[in-house]
Structure 1
């Protein structure tokens, strides 16, 4: 048997990136031979084995034939006669179809090295269209490798558009789509993922609530980029500079979904889009079965992002309602999350990328002033039952009011 290091480990090393996982390809072996060498089989659809010492994955070379719908509708042949070239041919991108043998020699039958040099994401063969999941994977690779200057080959983007138009994306499970979205949100340039999906028509199928924002205008004096879909991507781009939290990045991305529901005759204004956006955000999160944290942050971002920009004009009681309703006394991290969303929304506009956002610090100051009120002192004054909350609210409002109207 011959063993090769394949996939991401080879690609990332060639790109000068840290190698995290090592996957190996075994050519010319049978499952019985692997088991005899104390490898442990874990794959059900095709033979994958864990090394007895390192626990690295070793997969037998295989070829696949499309027999059904979706990314799992394949018949697999992993017999010992399958060659290295046949196995690499089934892979998604040329940069992922490079193998390294035990002597350090690279095997590159589909010119992945050339595409690494030209920074191109290119499909290996026409079989690319047989797996709809590859649309999401390539979009994610585009986001991951954007900082290195990679872009998608026009021929590959055309095949992605073909898949999107075929209806095959509907065969993907919500969980599988959510996994790709979460991974993409953790890249340096997550906005590229959604931009690519929009360009190839996949976003309209997978996240129609977001796709509906493209072509919806906003007031040019406030939004020089005009297009709401573009604004959403710019907000995500800014959010990625402010936080590593994928749930918070997602919340920033979907905060304006309500603008797609504004009647066209009201364009470019969008009065009440914050409340209108709550339903599509909830539906999106539940359809994709995203974790509760995603839904909670996304709903908070949608409902309050408008208020954030005018926070210095808000009454103390309004500020307290924001703190109360979002349980910020027990979860102060939500305050910072809301500030990140407000800042990303403000700076996610052409020409405003470096604009200051004093609203954030003012909101922190108000929260700290209100938090400084000690309940124990209220109890010591003899207040009981509902009186305690009433007095606490009164003192917190007064504390915030001093910030708004400081004594000379």
Structure 2
């Protein structure tokens, strides 16, 4: 990092040493790059015994958001981890490093390292803050999955939801970031598994994620899923195939509601499923969901 950043901001150090460390880590996500070793040592020396107090949570969120929106967000978390601050600022995220998750090649990845790649991919795509925040927290239910199940993470959604809620409450995270994070928690892996073989589950998914009434948020979910996909080795330069598939499905559903001829919400979903099945030349329903 440039020499002018080899010190902690004096105003923040006086307010709270950990907040000063967080500011410097956030700055490292910009054009200045990673702190050098002396700066990391100074950051470590400034660490308090406890995390950021409630009275400074809003200021802490501003620094986190600053780093997340940087050119290389991973630098912020590498710096925080390198000086020992990540466990104080975001213990839920710190706990993900060293936890395995299923992948293709190699067959497992470290979840913490993977989320750093997702964040940098989101920055490369110029994704908005809700996408980057969701990428940061959507796996936090996997940190304590039973060892005998690894690298599979059963019931991580149930564990992750209250953790995301608590983290958002702690930092005063904006509602749009909270909403997308919770949606990604429950739906990102389902989006990855979507298939054109059965149209009914796709119609149900589009309804469930708000594709018809909240298209902007649906677009953010697909951006996040695409970044997650491209963060795996071998997918870096690829288009995200599920986005194209869901785009075809959504286009097939256009005008179904206005055309009428169905009864109630169930009838509307059936009509959409039929339209998608026609577009995909596939069956409408099966006993398994998407």
The TM-score normalised by the length of structure 1 is: 0.63
TM-superposed deviation, 1:218:
2.2
In 2, distance between residues paired with 1:274 and 1:223?
Answer: 24
Decide which moves more: 247-256 or 317-326: 317-326
Q: Hey, what does 1:76 align to over in structure 2?
A: none
CA contact 2:121–2:231 (8 Å) conserved in 1 = yes
Equivalent residue runs for 1:96-111 within 5 Å: none
Q: 1:373 Cα deviation (Å)?
A: 0.8
TM-aligned CA distance change 1:170 to 1:157, over 3 Å: farther
Matched, 1:237 2:116: no
**Separation in 1 of the partners of 2:252 and 2:9?**
62
Return closer, same or farther for 1:188/1:304 CA change in 2, 3 Å cut-off. same
Deviations 1:181-207 (A, max 9, x none): 112222111221122112222111111
**Counterpart in the other structure of 1:139:** 25
Q: CA deviation at 1:167?
A: 3.0
Structure 1 residue 331: deviation in Å?
1.2
- The higher-RCO structure (CA 8 Å, 6+ apart) is 2
Match of 2:236 in 1: 353
Instruction: Give yes or no for the alignment of 1:266 onto 2:149.
Output: yes
Provide the rounded CA distance (Å) in 1 between the counterparts of 2:50 and 2:93. 19
Looking at secondary structure, tell me which structure has more strand per residue. 1
Gaps of 5+ in 2: 284-290
Q: 2:287 corresponds to which residue?
A: none
Is 1:401 the counterpart of 2:277? The answer is yes
Unaligned runs of 5+ in 1: 1-92, 96-114
Residues 222, 337 of structure 1: alpha-carbon distance in 2 compared, 3 angstrom cutoff? farther
Q: Is the 8 A contact 2:52 2:60 kept in 1?
A: no
Q: Deviations over 1:238-261 (max 9, x none)?
A: 112223311111112222112113
Q: Which has the larger radius of gyration?
A: 1
CA RMSD of aligned residues (A): 2.7
| Superposition pairs of residues 9-408 of structure 1, within 5 angstroms | 115=3, 121-123=5-7, 131-132=16-17, 133-146=19-32, 150-167=33-50, 169-170=52-53, 173-219=56-102, 221-222=104-105, 226-312=109-195, 315-375=198-258, 377-378=259-260, 387-405=263-281
Cα distance, 1:265 vs. partner? 1.9
In the alignment, is the contact (CA less than 8 A) between 1:223 and 1:349 conserved in 2?
Answer: no
Residue aligned with 1:214, SS = coil
Distance 2:9 2:72 in 1: 27
Q: Secondary structure at the match of 1:261?
A: coil
Deviation (angstroms), 1:171: 7.0
Return the offset for 1:176.
0.9
**1:341 match: secondary structure:** helix
Aligned residues of 2:102 and 2:108 also touching (Cα < 8 A): no
Distance 2:109 2:269 in 1: 41
TM superposition shift of 1:348: 1.2
**TM-score with structure 2 length normalisation?**
0.86
Between Structure 1 and Structure 2, the one with more helix by share is 2
| Cα distance, 1:126–1:289 mapped onto 2, change above 3 Å | closer
d(CA) in 1 for partners of 2:264, 2:240: 35
Alpha-carbon distance in structure 2 between the residues aligned to 1:265 and 1:355: 34
1:202/1:362 Cα in 2 relative to 1: closer, same or farther (>3 Å)? Answer: same
1:231 touches 1:348 (CA, 8 Å); kept in 2? yes
